[in-house]
Amino acid sequence: MADWLGQVFFFILELPFPMTSPIYICGPTASGKTSLAIALAKDLGGEIVNADAYQIYKGLETISAAPDEEEKAQAPHHLFSVLEPTDLCDAMQYRELALPIIADIQERGKTPIITGGSGLYLKFLTHGPSPVPPGDQALRDELEKRDDASLIAELETLDPEGAAQTNLKNRRYVIRALEICLLSGEKMSKIKSDWKKTSDEKDKDLRGLVIQWDAEALRTRIQSRTDILLARKASAEVTALRGIASETCRKAIGFREIEQMLDKDITREKCLYQVSAATSRYAKRQRTWFRKETWLKPIPAPATLEKAKELLQL
């Protein structure tokens, strides 16, 4: 009996991660994150935590392609449809909502499976908020009054390395870089360098997958899903939320386009095209974001449970 317990103990020590360590399932929209997360949750007895900026809202279930009731019945789901559409939300607020839920799942001996495509929300959850100071409107208004040459000259004086890393032809980038230096009293380049070192250390304690599709195949999936969403309750959702949805809520892809369709400013066909095109552009930005998160292991699509477990060493 003692020998058996000892073997189990040493087996646990050899695991690359604790059994309740979170698993992150990431990827662009329409990549199949939900189905893979559910498969893992059923296999591991895990619980799913939402990391999508719009699936967190009540009343956006169709537009955001949130899991339906049949999917939710297959495993415990958290942080879906919990905010009122009138609520504002950002990455920091999401972090504050998600952390205690993840901790509770772990305390009960379960594995949290965090799934979503909102890169900034995930970054705040995994690495904490950026040390870069938030914008200051009064300072920005002052900087906006100045010409490009004086802005660039000051940035090059305060932070030569940061200036070399900044696209100086982009006025918005220059103003933001200078704003960071002035507000923090430090070089922007140093803040970012220190943050990268801290992030690299945290990467070692994370495990996750990013689903990778061929770009053309993903566009086809997006177009098909957009057609399905418009045929379901998407128009009804927008109708119900017009005039009350928060600015965050209204940023959901499809919201404004469907409003235009309801107002007869565009046809259904034009709406379908615009939503599909906007979703494809968003997916491209998501792919770019997740490529930089090198701790995520790429999993070829369509992602299978067997391949996921192999990559996660489960």
Q: Are residues 302 and 236 in the same domain?
A: yes
Whole-structure pTM value: 0.81
Number of domains within the chain: 2
Q: Are residues 126 and 261 in the same domain?
A: yes
Residues 117 and 166 in one domain: no
Domain membership of residue 58 (yes or no) is yes
Within a domain: 119: yes
42 lies in a domain? yes
Instruction: Report if residue 290 sits inside a domain.
Output: yes
Residue 307: give the domain boundaries.
Answer: 20-130+200-312
Exposed/middle/buried for 147, CB within 10 Å: 0-12, 13-18, 19+? exposed
Beta strands in the chain (DSSP E): 23-26, 47-50, 77-78, 112-115, 208-212, 296-300
Residue 13: the pLDDT is 43
* Residues 61 and 34 occupy one common structural domain: yes
Point out which residues pair with 50 in neighbouring strands. 115
Q: Is residue 281 part of a domain?
A: yes
**Token code pair at residue 33:** 């994150």
The CA-based dihedral angle spanning residues 53, 81, 213, 211, taken in that order and rounded to the nearest 10 degrees? 80
| Residues 6 or more apart in contact with residue 134 via CB below 8 angstroms | none
**Cα–Cα distance measured from residue 175 to residue 144, given in angstroms and rounded to the nearest whole number:** 8
276 lies in the same domain as 181: no
Which sign does the torsion angle of CA 290, 294, 300, 306 carry? negative
Spatial distance between the Cα atoms of 23 and 104, rounded to a whole number of angstroms: 15
CATH number at residue 275: 3.40.50.300
Amino acid at 49: V
Of 179, 197, 215, which closes a domain? 197
For the chain, 314 residues long, give each residue's pLDDT as a single digit of tens.
Answer: 444 444 443 344 445 677 789 999 999 999 999 999 999 999 999 999 999 999 999 999 999 999 999 999 999 999 999 999 999 999 999 999 999 999 999 999 999 999 999 999 999 999 888 777 777 888 888 999 999 999 999 999 998 998 998 989 899 889 988 888 898 888 888 887 777 777 777 888 899 999 999 999 999 999 999 988 888 889 999 999 998 999 999 999 999 999 999 999 999 999 999 999 999 999 999 999 999 999 999 999 999 999 999 999 98
| Residues 209, 151 within the same domain | no
Nearest 5°: the CA angle 279, 282, 284 is 115
Say which CATH number the domain at 153 has.
1.10.20
Q: For residue 213, tell me if it sits in a domain.
A: yes
Q: Does some domain include residue 206?
A: yes
Q: Measuring CA to CA, which residue among 208, 244, 189, 202 is closest to residue 59?
A: 244
Give the residue from 6, 44, 33 showing the smallest Cα distance to 118: 33
Q: 283: which 2 tokens?
A: 């997916």
Domain end, chosen from 197, 212, 246, is at 197
Of residues 291, 213, 295, the one with CA closest to residue 29: 213
- Give dist(CA 310, CA 314) in Å, integer: 6
**Same domain (yes/no): 305, 207:** yes
Could you tell me if 87 and 223 lie in one domain? yes
- 42 and 182, same domain (yes or no): no
In a domain, 218, yes or no: yes
Do 31 and 79 fall within a single domain? yes
Residues 88 and 49 in one domain: yes
Q: Do 107 and 184 fall into the same domain?
A: no
